[in-house]
Structure 1
Amino acid sequence: MLAYRHAFHAGNHADVLKHLVLTRVLRYMGEKDKPYTLVDTHAGAGGYSVEGRYAQKNAEYATGIARLYDSSDLPEPLADYVSLVRAFNPDGQLRQYPGSPAIANMLLRPTDRLRAYELHPTDHRILASYLEGRPSTQVSDRDGFAAIKGELPSPTRRAALLMDPPYELKTDYVKVLSALREALERAPDTVVMVWYPQLQRLESTQLATRLKASADALAKKGWLHVRLTVAQADERGFGMQGSGMFVANPPFTLHDELAECLPLLVERLGHYDGASYVLEQKVV
C-alpha cells in the first residue's frame, strides 16, 4: 500500500469525477453558517505537478482534466470545478493539479475543520507543509480507516467523509464497506463519499451493490451512485474502464448537477464508442 503514489494518475478521468462530486458536496455544505468537518482518509500529497516525471509517465491528465481545462462551454457545476483547478495554476497554464486536500483548502471556511490522513511518508510531509498554518486543520500519518472511530460523530455535528484508497489490495474493498457502516452507525447523517475503480474484478463489480445495501439500512437521507465508463478492458480483461462515486446522505442538489455534466464528460473523456455513465439515487 505504501508503494502507491497518486502523482502517476493526477488529473485523470477518475480525478475529474471524484473532484467534481467533492466540489459540489463542499459547496453545499458551505451554504449553511454552521461549521462542518471534512475527514479525508487517503489525502495524498495535496497537489501534483503534471509536468513532473510521475505524471508524465502515462500522461493520464491529458485525457482527463486537460480536455476540460480551456473549455468555455461547460455546465456550471463542471465549470466551477475547473475554475478551482485554474486557480491552482496562477499563470493560467495547466502545470499543477489539486488533490482533494487542496480543493478542500480552497472551499472550506476558516471555521470548518479538516482532518487529513496519509500514510505514505513523502506525501505526508508534502501535505503537512502545504496545509501548515491553515486553521482548524490536522494532518496525520495514521491509518485513515482506523481514524473514523475517533472522528465521528464530529464536534461540529455536521460532517463529510471522503474515502478513496488505491485498492491495490483486495482488502481495501472490505475496509471501505466496513468504514461506511461504522461512519453511518456513529453519525447517520454524515455525507460519506466513496470513490472506487471500475475493473473486471469481482470486488469492484460488487462494491456499489454492497454499499447501497448498507446505506439503505443506515443512511438517514438515502444515497446516490454515479459511474463514468471511459475505456474498454484489454483482451485479457485488465485495465481500469472508469470509476464510480457512491455518496451516502447526498445533497439534494447533487443528482441534477451531475445529470447536467455527465453527457459532456462521456463525450470529452470517453476513449471509445461505448463510453457511458450511470446515475441513480434513492431518496428517503
Structure 2
Amino acid sequence: MLSYQHAYHAGNIADVHKHLALMLLLEGFAENSGAFSFYDSHAGRGIYDLSSPEAEKTGEHKMGVSAIDEPQNDKRAPARYLDLIETFRKEHGEHAYPGSPSIAHHFMRPGDKMFLTELHPTEHRVLEENFSAFKSVDIRKQDGFEMLSRLKYPHHLRGVALIDPAYEVKTDYRSVPRSLMKALSGWPNGVFVVWYPILPDERHKQMVRSLFSLGGNAVFESLLMAPDVADRRGMIGTGLMIFNAPQGFEEKLAVAMDEITTLMFGEGLGSHSIKKGQPVGSAALL
C-alpha cells in the first residue's frame, strides 16, 4: 500500500518531536571535524507547503509547529529550531516547512553525504525535483526497510539513520525491528532514530518492547503526548527510540522537549518523558 503522503501531516507534533531531535543530533555531528552520513528510510518530499490544500485539509500543523510561541531565550534549542525554519523559508517561501532531508541538508558540509529512499512514485518524483541538484545527495526509489537491511558498508563510520515509516500497514511494526537488527549488525557505530505514532489502541507497544530488547542500555525512548482532547481516535502522541546516542544527548533532548512542549501546548499541557534501559523481562523480536 502506497497511499500515504506526508503533505497532509507536515509540521504536526510528530514532525516537531522528530525534527528537534534530529537537529540536536546533527548539530553535534556538524561541530566535529569528521565527515558524517545521513540516511532517511522514508524520505517523503523533503520540502512542504503549509498553505497547500493537503496541509490545510487536516490543519495538523496548527497544533504543531504553527502553535509554538516565540522563545524568550534565543540561544535555546526551540529558538534554534525556529531559526532553522525561518532560514529555510527565506529560500522556499513564507509557508514552507523543511522535511527531514531538508533539516539534515542544513547541517551538511563538504565531504558529508545523504542517502534518501522513497518508494511512493509521486513522493519520489518530487523528492528528486527538490534534491537532485545536490551531488552530495543520493536518491533512490527503494523500499526503506530493504535499504536498512543492506546497510553493511556505510559511506562514513559516523552518521545518523532515520527510520520513520507511515505505519499505514500493521506489518511496519514488525519490519522496523527486523530491519534495524540487520542495520545495527552492519553499522554498529551508527546512531539510529526510530519514529512511531502513539494511537489509542497502543499498537506500538510490542514493537517498543522488541526495540528495547534489541538495544538494551544503548537505546532510550522519548515520548511526547498531546494535551487531552475530546476526540481520542487519532494520534495522541509521538515516540522516538534512539540507539547509540552521543554522550549527554539524552539529557539535552529532555531539556529541549520540555521547553518546546510548553511553548507548543501551554504551561502544564501535554507532556514529555524518557524511558531508558533494559525492559522488565525479555521480549522476542517480532
TM-score surpassing 0.5?
yes
Change in 2 beyond 3 A, CA 1:271/1:173:
farther
Distance apart, 1:168 and its partner CA = 0.9
1:202 Cα deviation (Å)? 4.4
Report if aligned partners of 1:47, 1:98 keep a CA contact under 8 Å in 2.
yes
Q: Is residue 233–residue 240 contact of structure 1 (8 Å, CA) maintained in 2?
A: no
Give the structure 1 partner of residue 130 of structure 2. 130
| Contact 2:67–2:265 under 8 Å retained in 1 | no
Gaps of at least 5 residues in structure 2 are 279-286
Three-state SS of the structure 2 residue aligned to 1:154 is coil
Match of 1:241 among 236, 243, 264: 236
Residue by residue over 1:29-79, the C-alpha shift from the partner in whole angstroms, topping out at 9 and shown as x without a partner, is 222222121110000001110001000012111111112264444661222
Alignment of 1:75-224 (within 5 A): 76-90=76-90, 94-216=94-216, 222-224=218-220
In structure 1, runs of 5+ residues without a counterpart are none
Q: Is the 8 A contact 1:255 1:281 kept in 2?
A: no
Corresponding pairs, count = 278
Q: Which moved more, 1:130-139 or 1:42-51?
A: 130-139
What's the secondary structure of 2:162's corresponding residue? strand
CA deviations over 1:202-249 (Å, ceiling 9, x no partner): 431333222111012xxxx712211000044766x6211110111000
Q: Which residue of 2 aligns with 1:38?
A: 38
Q: Alpha carbon RMSD of aligned pairs, Å?
A: 2.4
Alpha-carbon separation, structure 2, partners of 1:6 and 1:204: 20
Q: Aligned pair in 2 of structure 1 residues 69, 139: CA closer, same or farther (>3 Å)?
A: farther
CA contact (8 A) 1:128 1:139 kept: yes
CA distance in 2, matches of 1:186, 1:93: 40
State the secondary structure of the residue aligned to 1:203: coil
- What is the aligned partner in structure 1 of residue 224 from structure 2? 228
Which stretch of structure 1 is more off in the superposition, 251-260 or 41-50?
A: 251-260
Query: How big is each residue's C-alpha offset from its partner over 1:149-172, in whole Å with a ceiling of 9 and x where there is no partner?
Result: 443331322232100001111001
**SS state at 1:155 partner:** coil
> Any idea what SS the aligned residue of 2:253 has?
helix
Task: Give the secondary-structure state (helix, strand or coil) at the position aligned to 2:116.
Answer: strand
The alignment's TM-score, normalised by the length of structure 2, stands at 0.89
Cα distance 1:133–1:93, how it changes in 2: closer, same or farther (>3 A)?
closer
Asked if 1:9 corresponds to 2:5, the answer is no
Question: 1:250 aligns to what?
Answer: 245
Larger deviation: 128-137 or 97-106? 128-137
CA distance, structure 2, for counterparts of residue 93 and residue 190 of structure 1: 34
* TM-fit CA distance, 1:266: 2.9
What percentage of residue pairs aligned between the two structures are identical? 31
Task: Report if the CA contact (8 A) 1:111-1:135 is conserved.
Answer: no
Report Cα offsets for 1:94-134 as digits up to 9, x if no partner: 40110001111111112111100111111111111111221
User: Is contact 1:47-1:97 (8 Å) kept?
Assistant: yes
Amino acid at match of 1:77: A
User: 2:42, 2:163 within 8 Å by CA — same for their partners in 1?
Assistant: yes
Q: How does 1:15-26 map to 2 (within 5 A)?
A: 15-26=15-26
Residues 69 and 94, structure 1, Cα contact 8 Å, conserved in 2: no
